[in-house]
Amino acid sequence: MLNQQISQIIATELNVRPQQILAAIQLVDDGNTIPFIARYRKEVTGGLDDTQLRHFETRLIYLRELEDRRQTILKSINDQGKLSDELRDKILQTQSKTELEDLYLPYKPKRRTKGQAAIEAGLEPLADLLWNDPSQQPEIAAEQFVDAEKDITDSKVALDGARYILMERFAEDAELLAKVRRYLQQSAVIISKVLEGKETEGAKFQDYFDHQEPLKNVPSHRALAMFRGRNEGILQLSLNADPDAEEGARSSYCEEIIRDHLGVRFNAQPADKWREQVISWTWKIKVALHLETELMAALREKAEDEAIDVFARNLSALLMAAPAGAKNTMGLDPGLRTGVKVAVVDNTGKLLETATIYPHTGQMDAAMLTTYQLIKKHNVELIAIGNGTASRETERFAKDVIKEIKPLKPQTVVVSEAGASVYSASELAAAEFPELDVSLRGAVSIARRLQDPLAELVKIEPKAIGVGQYQHDVNQSRLARKLDAVVEDCVNAVGVDLNTASAPLLARVAGMTKTLAQNIVDYRDENGRFDSRAELKKVPRLGPKAFEQCAGFMRITHGKNPLDASGVHPEAYAVVEKILQATEQSIQDLMGNATAVRQLDAKQFTDEQFGLPTVMDIFKELEKPGRDPRGEFKTATFMDGVEEITDLKAGMILEGTITNVTNFGAFVDIGVHQDGLVHISSLSDKFVEDPHQVVKTGDVVKVKVLEVDVARKRIALTMRLDESAVKNSDKSDRTLSAKPRQGRDNAHHDKRQPSRNQFANNAFADALKGWKK
């Protein structure tokens, strides 16, 4: 029954049939993973895709937690003997944790309050008398309840106690709280003020020193900025519940909501003033504080959810970036004083050789010779250069070395080194390269992430990759859960080579754990390459369920069965056999023969187990076996002579790479060690509601420089190449017009180093001639 109720709710949200959700619930409860369900159980779920299934998964967790809490609350109230049929129905009908807690509030065990103390002192009859019969004189009525033994010393104490009883009663009215909450959600204004004396210390928050805007309109990045300012002791945040109230108004609109809900009318009765004070106190002392705290928390949670979604989309784009391919690659981790770390890997990512060179500290000749020798010795086809400190100088150096190489010249590519230092110092890197210096491990990572970004970046904790928006300010467990799901979906969308994949990559495959992934690697090391997917069953502790979940995402090239290199699941190999019998072709002849496959009728090969969606997927795999869903490999070409922020001039048109997409725009690496911001208003000639609709992380774009603030290291860019001035933008967002690039080498650039015109005219040329001989 519970699963049916949940399926109705989620089906409405996703605009699908409840039977589809009910089937997905059953599959999840049976231990199936989301990637497996999305790819290989389309018939069962009616074709729910991975995006729909991830929403389903999140809501399923929420609604089941809600149900557990519901049952706990019902038991608690029932044990108190206060569970009426009406209350039970309300609790059973709500689908919101907030509303559920509102209903529980009057019955929730709490510390002894002033209202409870007043009830214990016998003042509840006085409260009911004055509230229900306004003709009573409060002071006269209260005199009857004066009792020194109960600490009710006079009528004022009695009246105050009666007020507390009513205040707490009204403040625990779920319907009343819902009405006031709805009003505040639509009308309240958030106010941000700088704390006295914090102006200089909190200069980075100056846009919020005297800021206010409607609560319902606050975008996530501004909300998180204000909350960060508050957490750092710079800002004070509050809510104005009645922004349109006239100065000197007798009561607030929220008090009027309370009065109307309680059905109170003031007709110049003796107790009216006292009752009016009860309403005012209810709002100011109880409801206002409670709801301000709640709404601020809701704003933060919503902002965090949006920030987490931004991070997730950026991470997905980064992981799904096109690989440069299986080519011998040199990784250069730039540095000034500490030198440039060099690592050469072969086309499978295996480390071949490392070195440290010092091209920027007076040892240019030796650096060029070493680099040249490594390129020639290992037939390097690609040079990956980290984009941190000294990146452009190192790129320039590499190009000068390449000039001497004939006939084939390696291609230089500047890549993001975000997270490379985290990987270098990790246990994984230490286990992979126990004898290698930490700094050199980073160069290996830079080389490998050019070959295959997904395979290398899965080794780094997603949060460390740094493509988020205020990622350190959000709920870390929710962030980790979301990012882990992104990594899992990306890995399974691409598939992994069973014979070359690392343990961290294998661990992200559906049905895998870290232990099983390591067992696969150990088995491979001991027994050699896998010749078939079926051989996975021999791996220790890899049982039937794990095999079912993972097998379709594992790839084996040049194995015994060509289908093992495709996305066809072993359970569906029988369908392919039927196709081969019908066409009288061998699997070798049919795979990759798009013309032959397109002539087939999918309905001819369906049965009770495998429906049309599965057969159509099989056809796609036969047309393009082992196809990679990632796009074509592209790189940005940085402008020569533009290497520092001081080289930028307004009006320059440059090529760059999108490094981060936020709700207010996109950051672009244009090769000056400082990302510039294309504000959302400058992304397109058309109105843009969400920057992710226009660009994604990794895109190569052309931009024009609008403004450069060298002192604050901020760059304003536009993708509207005819735009000549900053306009139609939110100034508070424009102040975020650059994201500093954190290099791992903080040494200052030595302006006295030789110019590149000197490079070819020094001892390097002589040394190179000697080495060639």
pLDDT tens per residue, range 343-398: 999 998 999 999 999 999 989 999 999 999 999 999 999 999 998 888 989 999 99
pLDDT, one tens digit per residue, over 286-334 is 999 999 999 999 999 999 999 999 899 999 998 999 999 999 999 999 9
Inter-axis angle of helices 124-132 and 155-171, nearest 10: 80
- The predicted model gives 532-559 an average pLDDT of 96
- The predicted model gives 74-87 an average pLDDT of 96
Where does the pLDDT of residue 473 fall: very low under 50, low under 70, confident under 90, or very high at 90 and above? confident
The contacts of residue 738 (CB under 8 Å, 6+ apart) are 667, 674, 675, 676, 677, 709, 712, 713, 714, 715
CATH superfamily of 645-740: Nucleic acid-binding proteins (2.40.50.140)
- Class of CATH domain 114-306: mainly alpha
Asked which of 38-42, 456-460, 623-627 is least confident by mean pLDDT, the reply is 623-627
Q: Which position has the token pair 């409670």?
A: 290
CATH 1.10.3500.10 residue ranges of the chain are: 114-306
**Per CATH, which fold does 2-107 belong to?**
Arc Repressor Mutant, subunit A (1.10.10)
Residue 520 has pLDDT above 50, yes or no: yes
Total Cβ atoms within 10 A of residue 26: 14
- pTM (global) more than 0.85: no
Residue 171 amino acid letter? A
pLDDT, one tens digit per residue, over 432-469 is 999 999 999 999 999 999 999 999 999 988 888 866 66
CATH 1.10.10.650 residue ranges of the chain are: 2-107
- Pick 191 or 734 by higher pLDDT: 191
pLDDT at 462: 86
> Which alpha helices (H) appear in 15-49, and where do they start and end?
18-29, 34-40, 42-45
pLDDT at 755: 41
Give yes or no for a contact between 95 and 66, defined as CB atoms under 8 angstroms apart: yes
- CA dist 279 and 264 (Å) reads 10
Strand intervals (E) in 143-275:
189-194, 210-214, 235-240
CATH 3.30.420.140 residue ranges of the chain are: 329-467
Residue 320 structure tokens: 């799904």
Average pLDDT, the chain: 90
pLDDT at 151: 92
Where does the pLDDT of residue 668 fall: very low under 50, low under 70, confident under 90, or very high at 90 and above? very high
Residue 343, classed as helix, strand or coil, is strand
> Which alpha helices (H) appear in 539-611, and where do they start and end?
544-550, 573-583, 587-590, 594-598
**Per CATH, which fold does 329-467 belong to?**
Nucleotidyltransferase; domain 5 (3.30.420)
Residue 426 has pLDDT above 60, yes or no: yes
pLDDT, one tens digit per residue, over 407-416 is 778 999 999 8
CATH 2.40.50.140 residue ranges of the chain are: 645-740
